[in-house]
Amino acid sequence: MTSMTDPEYTPAYLLDNAWRAARARLTHLEAACDPLTGDHLDKVGIGPGWHCLEVGAGGGSVVGMLCDRVGPEGRVLAVDLEPALLADLERPNLDVRRLDVVVDELPQAAFDLVHARAVLMHIPQRAEVLPRLVGALKPGGVLLLEEMDLTPLYEADDIMTRTVEALYRPIFDAGAPLDLLWANTLPDLLEPAGLVDVGNDRVRMTFTGGSALANFWLVTFHQLLETQPYTEAERAVMAEGMALLQAPGDTYVAWDMVAAWGRRP
């Protein structure tokens, strides 16, 4: 099997966490999304002594929530393509590993909880990754996935829609694997993957200029403007939207956060 150590292997991830301001981007995302993730973790019943796998651990805020909930008798394994941002997390019940769930082996039947947030939408091999996540669960273990569905943003058809369209359309045309609408299908995938007691919910996330989500979008725009080619016309549209991101006022749709969970029999 190919692995991350293969010199010919290059992970397909649009927003590289090794970028200079990746920490800021993730911090804004965490501020906006962590309360909802905390609610989902409580809903699936995570508790003391659980062994958990956090896939795509990013800046580590969810890792911290997991470590707190499982306590000293539990364990958390946090994996990421770029785990450097987790270096400051010093928890006695935490292990951190550089790992790509597309090509690297996961421990089998090892976890009471496997969780990922905004990860599979970035992975073109998501259909192959899902059964691997299920296989990492102990019998009775729970898979919890949270993904962003940008359908409502495109349906809004306002300046923010046009700005995001200008941001992503050239990238999609170049073959980027990111799928902004895939989360719509997520609730229908867990039963066919062999899980039972499945459930899901959908929460509309909105923002105004200057908020945590606005700042997440702003840093994302800066990252892609630095790393992707755009025409002057596309940059002009994005500049208009970026100005609104910094000005409190109107409310804009960000996405629906779609969560789905199920238990391995």
Domain of 145? 22-150+178-206+256-263
Q: Which two tokens stand for residue 158?
A: 């306002």
Residue 8, in any domain of the structure: no
pLDDT at site 139: 98
Q: What is the pTM of this model?
A: 0.92
Task: Please determine, for residue 56, whether its predicted confidence score (pLDDT) is greater than 80.
Answer: yes
pLDDT at site 10: 44
pLDDT at site 9: 38
105 DSSP 8-state letter: P
Q: Are 255 and 153 in contact (CB under 8 A)?
A: yes
Task: Please determine, for residue 23, whether its predicted confidence score (pLDDT) is greater than 70.
Answer: yes
Residue 54, in any domain of the structure: yes
Residue 94, in any domain of the structure: yes
How far is it, in rounded angstroms, from Cα 154 to Cα 151?
5
What total of structural domains would you count in the chain?
A: 1
Residue 239, in any domain of the structure: no
* CATH number, domain with residue 98: 3.40.50.150
Residue 11, in any domain of the structure: no
Q: Look-up: residue for tokens 């609104």?
A: 244
CB count in 10 Å sphere of residue 34: 16
Mean pLDDT over 97-110 rounds to 96
